[in-house]
Amino acid sequence: MGIDNIRGDTAAVPCSSQPSESIPGVGTVHWGGSAAIKSDKQQPGGVIYSIKGPGVDEEPLGIFSIDKFSGKVFLNAMLDREENDRFRLKAFALDLGGVTLEDPTDLEIIVVDQNDNRPLFRQDVFTGHVVEGAEPGTCVMTADATDADDPDTDNAVLRYSILEQGAAGMFSINATTGEICTARPGLDRETVGVYNLTVQAADMSGDGLTTTATAVIYLEDINDNPPEFTKEEFSMEVEEQATGVDVGKVFVHDKDLAGSPNWLAKFTILEGDPEGAFTIRTDPYTNDGVISVAKPLDHEVRDRFELTVSVQNEQPLEPTAPTSPRALATVRVRVRDVNEAPIFRENPRRVSVLEGAPPGTSITTYTASDPDTHQLQTLSYALLYDPADWLQLDPHAGTVRTKRELLHPSAFLQGGWYIALVLARDDAEPPLSATGTLSIEILEVNDHAPLLQPTAGVVCGRPGRGGRLLLGATDDDRPPHGAPFHFQLSPQHPQLTRNWSITRFNGEG
């Protein structure tokens, strides 16, 4: 049994492509519209033809049918090579009585591909990264596509191109692989940080169906821009005696990626602060330099500073980065004068006075000094603490005198010392004051005679054996004018030594 291809049969349903047709051998049809089978044992009464298999009586059903008398095979539905690229059928030839005239013939119908599928990119958006300043030829990503048509035909041969990327033309694409690489030098993140490319894939080696996708390329930052001060000079001021406070900021600008080590600034005070009165740190949020006071400043000693400050990045600059003329700045700091409290240079002040000193006795002149030498101020003095009301103080000169005699012993003495507090106050608005401690040592004077105890006594004794009387003494004075005592018989009465004697007993005589 043989097969005849039939072209242009109006009874056939055309394929969904434009098929070619050829008969490489008996039993195989490259479908082109219709075909016919013919038995080699044609009977005078006629032959009845039938076909069976997938596409006829097996899934998918009803695609092919045959004219049982002529043997013509018809296509009844649209063919899709991407679903079924071939059908293997069996053809039968029977006589009019239903007797098989010959063995069944294998009929293979091959569906010839046509270009009915567009290329498809694997994703709608491709994302890549490349460092700024990358050399031409640096590859970034591959934007590849697929085509469902026959890979052995030109229908699936793809070519890639870039439809849109901006005027600079910084990237190129490999026409056969879809690999995107840098095409020109000069990639600068600070000029253009993101490139959006429209890429195209076309089959038929670039002349067929097309599709597009987006390639987004991000430029990664390198340290190719030095930090720069926004101006050459900065001015600020701070109150004297302040410490640990922020004086002000020096402002910088860096074109590199904010928040990255390529952007983070580092400051140094190079000149103008030999005593280390100031420090500078980086504000992590703004990247500016913050100048603070490290040691108290004295307006009367130095009322202004001129600092030279430098700035650089935490990370080293790229060798190709330009140097900046604005890496140095001058910072002028004025120390503002403020009212300062008086100071007692000697505190506490220690002096001595004899006990029993009469009223009006000068003890000392206890004065303070005012650090505000550039301000015209007057100090006044007052007794802040005088527990025995013993002293009087000149409010202008600070001279301390006794107001009355201080009797001894006194409950206001602490180990022989009298403690008073003197207040010094300036006349500023508001006034400031200081307290000085005046420690007065009361020197002991031998102004009390010792008293015998007892003042009178009786001595009894047997004849020839004598008798004894134990004597003691007291003294209101303190050492060295009190105990220990020395006892003796009165030198005005030498005859007493004939019958009496004094002997020290248990530390006393």
The 3-class SS string of 384-436 reads EECCCCCEEECCCCCEEEECCCCCCCCCCCECCEEEEEEEEECCCCCCCEEEE
Q: Give, for 50, the enclosing helix (H) or strand (E).
A: strand 47-52
Query: Residue 481: its pLDDT value, please?
Result: 57
- Cβ-based neighbours of 311, under 8 Å, separated by 6 or more: 227, 228, 229, 250, 252, 265, 266, 267, 268, 289, 327, 329
The architecture of the domain spanning 120-220 is Sandwich (2.60)
The architecture of the domain spanning 343-443 is Sandwich (2.60)
| Cα distances (angstroms) measured from residue 470 to each of 455, 461, 467, 502, 503 | 11, 14, 10, 10, 10
How far, in Å, CA of 230 to CA of 326, rounded?
8
Percent of the chain residues topping a pLDDT of 90: 50
Q: Does the pLDDT of residue 18 top 70, yes or no? A: no
pLDDT tens for 271-317 read 999 999 999 999 999 999 999 999 999 888 898 999 999 999 999 99
How far, in Å, CA of 61 to CA of 500, rounded?
164
Confidence of residue 3 (pLDDT cuts 50, 70, 90): low
Distance of CA 468 to the CA centre of its chain: 97
- DSSP lists the bridge partners of residue 195 as 217
Contact 334, 248 (CB under 8 A): no
Average pLDDT rounded to a whole number, residues 146-172: 92
End-to-end CA distance of the chain: 168
In terms of pLDDT, which residue wins out, 26 or 474? 474
Query: Residue 295: its pLDDT value, please?
Result: 93
Q: Does the pLDDT of residue 44 top 70, yes or no? A: no
Lowest mean pLDDT among 43-57, 146-160, 213-227: 43-57
Contact 33, 57 (CB under 8 A): no
Q: Does the pLDDT of residue 331 top 60, yes or no? A: yes
Task: At 15, list the tokens.
Answer: 């394929």
In terms of pLDDT, which residue wins out, 77 or 129? 129
Query: Residue 136: its pLDDT value, please?
Result: 97
Geometric angle at alpha carbon 298, from 296 and 300, rounded to 5°: 175
What is the 8-class DSSP label of residue 205? G
CATH code 2.60.40.60 region(s) in the chain: 48-110, 120-220, 228-336, 343-443
Contact 173, 202 (CB under 8 A): no
228-336 belongs to CATH 3.20.20.20: no
Q: What is the mean pLDDT of the chain?
A: 84
Has this prediction a pTM greater than 0.75? no
Confidence of residue 502 (pLDDT cuts 50, 70, 90): confident
How far, in Å, CA of 117 to CA of 17, rounded?
11
In terms of pLDDT, which residue wins out, 436 or 409? 436
In terms of pLDDT, which residue wins out, 135 or 501? 135
48-110 belongs to CATH 3.40.630.30: no
Q: Give, for 496, the enclosing helix (H) or strand (E).
A: helix 496-499
| Tokens 């050399």 sit on residue | 135
| Cα distances (angstroms) measured from residue 340 to each of 241, 369, 396, 436 | 9, 11, 19, 16
Residue type, 228: E
Query: Residue 5: its pLDDT value, please?
Result: 45
